[in-house]
Structure 1
Amino acid sequence: MAVDAILAAVALFCMVIGSFAEPYGEHGSTWNVHAPGNLSLTLMGAGAATLVFRRRAPWTVLAASCALSIVELVTSGPRAPVVMCAVIALYTVAATTNRPTTWRIGLVTMAGLTGVAMLAGPLPWYAQENLGIFAWTGMAAAAGDAVRSRRAFIDAIRERAERAERTREEEARRRVAEERLRIARDLHDVVAHHIALVNVQAGVAAHVMDKRPDQAKEALAHVRDASRSALGELRATVGLLRQTGDPEAPTEPAPGLGRLDDLVDTFRNAGLPVDVARGDADLSPPAAVDLAAYRIIQEALTNVQKHAGEHAKAEVSVVRVGPNLEITVLDDGAGEDAQAADDPDRGGGHGLIGMRERVSALGGRCSAGPRYGGGFRVHAILPVTTAKQGDRGQTPVKGGTTA
């Protein structure tokens, strides 16, 4: 209201100065020819006072200023330009409403004030002052509409920029969460597998240290190999987190089915009999599928080692079936902790969750659960080709059967 009060004071000053002018006298523009009367001064003061409230009640101020202008036009003519208040009020209304309303109220105001000045005013209807009323009210409506459109345009740009910024932040958070989950899954696979082997071999070494030192040395050698492998894979995984300018990350290739025999040997050396059947001799799966298959078998055998019991045996099957690679890991364990692998509350379950996430990310399916008659079964189907790349007449298998 302070800004509007200043604007009202400036408008009042301009109206008073303008009321003293005689623009078209015999000797050109002259001053102090027609001093405004008391009624004119009152109307100008009232019109300026209404402008103080133009932001709070623009329609009311427009109606009041138009009424005061009509009174001035009928009684004194455009000598005291009270119409200036109506022009400012019309601009305010146009700047705060929509375009159709601006057109309607602008035409009504222009036609009304100009018509009153031409028909009821003391000047001839063709006087330039009457045409000036028409021009000033029209420009006020156009200027208010232009300001409103500009503000709407700027607000739309700001809103789009804020929405784009929020979208970028959400996308960045989503990618960070996915990367964090992937790294956590890789670390779990590496640590769970190798630490389980170290734990088993260390227990064997402690048990036979006094009576069979040769076997204890062999067990400790397996502990050393498992810990070395764990360190190597941890180094490769952590290397993904390096920033630009850090030392070069390890260049060792990611594990895959080509290293399946080495993986199985580590479990056999830990005392777990494992039989392997492979039907993927001519298959070269994508790197992501190759890594996922290796991790699934590693996690499944780790769960057998940890939960199936002392005399359990495991069977691993890797078979190409059409456009898919099917992986099955079976065991005949019947230990008390056989269900712990699928129960997060008992310390397990996270490996199976990561296993399912790996398979889902590749568009496959994974099932894990107890077998009929005892033991546990892990079955995963990983797509390695599309329908166009696969055998003619075959369609991709979207799911597998579960035991």
Structure 2
Amino acid sequence: MSTSLRIEAARRPRKVELVALLLLFGTTAMGCLVTSWTTPAPLSLWPGIVLSAFCCLALLRRHRNPLPVLGFITALTMAEGAVGYLITPLLMGPLMVSLYSVSLRADRTTARNASLLVAVCIVVTGLFLDPSSHPVLLGVVNPAAWVLLSALLGSYVGVRRSYAADRAEQAERAREEEARHHVVQERMRIARELHDIVAHHLALANAQASTAAHLYRTHPDKAFEMLNSLSTTTADALRELKATVGVLRQDTETDDSLAPAPGLGQLPDLTAAYSAAGLDVSVTISGPPQPLSPGVDLAAFRIIQEALTNVTKHAATGRADVRLSYHPHSLSLTISNETAAGSRRAGAPEPSRGFGLMGMRERAQSAGGTLTAGPCPEGFQVSCTLPLQPTS
């Protein structure tokens, strides 16, 4: 069927059904003619035509009342056999259509019982009600086989439709689960970004404000410079927060409206910001730099940022060492601070009680790497190994 015919059939289903019933009536009338031509004894044609017309008209109600319609058409078909017509597939067209409809819509038990009952009625008609005594093969076996065949076809189509509906439902559930999973992952990513941004800039702002207050009486000019750095830090924090939270408001994502994610290319700016806050950061790079994927580049930058933030908040020291080692297939990061064991800023929380180390581990794992953090003979050290390309 062409596309235009399918569209027309979907728009006018009642008209299509009437045309199909007219064609079915013509087929049934042809079955009556064939029987009247092949029967040796004279056989009136009008009873078969009238009974066939009633069978086709009854099919109009098969969707609402399939079982009563099947019983009515079965009785009319038995009446045709009792008149003397040979029950051929042409003559049984309405009966097979009705039985197909019942097998398609009813449950399996009802469809099986209905098909067996109709087959028994056809067999009884051929054996006991046929006045012409047609051969058993033509009058009994052949119509019963066609009845069972139409019932099997309807059951098969019904099972296929049920299977397709189950598959569609499962696919819809899978899509919903995947969508929820993506939402959870996106929320976790945004939560990590917000934590890193807030922790980093607040730690810098706190250090710069404390330094400015300390230098206010002795070196007012340096305190003024520190306050200028503080305003720059807060402005950067507001800009990054706006860019991160703005993603939540966007209906669609466009590359033009999103700023590039930070990476190791911004490492000099990051160390300069900490230097302005009073933390001396030394960066050592070993091995030829290798290109990193965006996810690994962002993870490396955020891990260094969070580690330096922890040094600023917790360590009673003014120095931190950052070492980057490029290998053929991985990048190693080491951030350490020379602090005597047990020394940290007064009132600062323990590093293991916050979300900093947890966030760094999650970032390393999301990029396919590993991260360890803990005390070392010189102080505290964070070590991370990331693949150059992300792995699942």
Q: TM-score range by the shorter chain?
A: 0.5 to 0.7
Counterpart of 1:376?
380
Greater helix share, structure number: 2
* Paired residue total: 313
TM-score after normalising by structure 1: 0.63
Question: Quick one: distance in 1 between partners of 2:332 and 2:214?
Answer: 39
- AA aligned to 1:126 is H
Kindly state the Cα deviation for residue 177 of structure 1 after the two structures are TM-superposed. 1.7
Provide the identity percentage: 37
Contact 1:96 1:148 in 2 (8 A): no
Kindly state the Cα deviation for residue 301 of structure 1 after the two structures are TM-superposed. 0.6
Q: 1:210 to 1:385 in 2, by over 3 A?
A: closer
Counterpart of 2:371?
366
Partner-residue secondary structure (3-state), 1:369: strand
Kindly state the Cα deviation for residue 233 of structure 1 after the two structures are TM-superposed. 2.4
Kindly state the Cα deviation for residue 193 of structure 1 after the two structures are TM-superposed. 0.4
Contact 2:194 2:241 in 1 (8 A): yes
Counterpart of 1:39?
none
Question: Quick one: distance in 1 between partners of 2:365 and 2:255?
Answer: 34
C-alpha root-mean-square deviation of aligned residues, in Å? 4.5
- AA aligned to 1:342 is S
Does residue 314 (structure 1) correspond to residue 350 (structure 2)? The answer is: no
Among 284, 292, 297, the alignment partner of 1:277 is: 284
Contact 2:103 2:158 in 1 (8 A): no
Q: For residues 358-388 of structure 1, what are the alpha-carbon distances to aligned partners after superposition, in whole Å with 9 as ceiling and x for unaligned?
A: 22222111112222x46322111111169xx
Question: Quick one: distance in 2 between partners of 1:266 and 1:220?
Answer: 13
Unaligned runs of 5+ in 1: 1-22, 32-51, 56-60, 62-71, 387-395, 397-403
Question: Quick one: distance in 2 between partners of 1:283 and 1:30?
Answer: 93
Kindly state the Cα deviation for residue 258 of structure 1 after the two structures are TM-superposed. 2.4
Q: 1:132 to 1:222 in 2, by over 3 A?
A: same
Contact 1:106 1:138 in 2 (8 A): no
Kindly state the Cα deviation for residue 245 of structure 1 after the two structures are TM-superposed. 9.3
- AA aligned to 2:365 is S
Counterpart of 2:293?
286
Question: Quick one: distance in 1 between partners of 2:231 and 2:103?
Answer: 84
Q: 1:327 to 1:127 in 2, by over 3 A?
A: closer
TM-score after normalising by structure 2: 0.64
- AA aligned to 1:375 is G
- AA aligned to 2:282 is D
Question: Quick one: distance in 1 between partners of 2:119 and 2:349?
Answer: 84
Q: 1:317 to 1:245 in 2, by over 3 A?
A: closer
Does residue 146 (structure 1) correspond to residue 190 (structure 2)? The answer is: no
Q: 1:258 to 1:107 in 2, by over 3 A?
A: same
Q: 1:78 to 1:258 in 2, by over 3 A?
A: closer
Kindly state the Cα deviation for residue 306 of structure 1 after the two structures are TM-superposed. 0.9
Among 316, 326, 331, the alignment partner of 2:332 is: 326
Q: 1:153 to 1:274 in 2, by over 3 A?
A: same
Among 206, 230, 243, the alignment partner of 2:251 is: 243
Return the index of the structure with the highest Cα Rg: 1
Q: 1:29 to 1:235 in 2, by over 3 A?
A: closer
Counterpart of 1:189?
196
- AA aligned to 2:387 is P
Question: Quick one: distance in 2 between partners of 1:317 and 1:245?
Answer: 36
Does residue 220 (structure 1) correspond to residue 227 (structure 2)? The answer is: yes
Among 178, 203, 212, the alignment partner of 2:210 is: 203
Q: For residues 61-102 of structure 1, what are the alpha-carbon distances to aligned partners after superposition, in whole Å with 9 as ceiling and x for unaligned?
A: 9xxxxxxxxxx9xxxx95799x99xx899986897549xx89
Partner-residue secondary structure (3-state), 1:283: coil
Unaligned runs of 5+ in 2: 1-35, 48-64, 72-77
